[in-house]
Amino acid sequence: MAGSRYLGRDAWITAVGRALTRADARQVLALKDIDPEVVLAVALVEASWATDGGVSTLSHSQLAELTGHPRSSVLRARLALVELGLEDLAAVPGAPGTCHRELRHY
């Protein structure tokens, strides 16, 4: 995760909360038809299950089960986090078709 600037779970959740108040976030959320509360719920669960380095291997289905939100909402929330610069999708080296999420600060 070189260069991801992940500074820990609490700092990442703070960054997510701050990002959700930005003007560009309102546009991203509107285009995704997703409420900021759902994005924050997904972020909280994602952070609580992430490694100390900020790597999350939860699937959309697992996140849906853990948050109580539909899988489609979880997918849109994750896309919003990517578009806001808070999460990257990364391939696992040497494991074709396997990917994980890397949490980062914008």
- In whole angstroms, give the CA distance from residue 106 to residue 95: 28
Which pTM value belongs to this model? 0.84
Sign for the pseudo-dihedral over CA of 54, 48, 35, 12: negative
What confidence tens digit (pLDDT) does each residue in 76-86 have? 999 999 999 89
Which amino acid is it at 64?
A
Which amino acid is it at 14?
T
- In whole angstroms, give the CA distance from residue 45 to residue 56: 10
Provide the residue ranges of all domains of the chain, joining segments of one domain with +.
Answer: 9-103
pLDDT mean across residues, the chain: 86
Which amino acid is it at 44?
L
* Topology (CATH) of 9-103: Arc Repressor Mutant, subunit A (1.10.10)
Residue 37 has pLDDT above 50, yes or no: yes
- In this prediction, residue 2 carries a pLDDT of 45
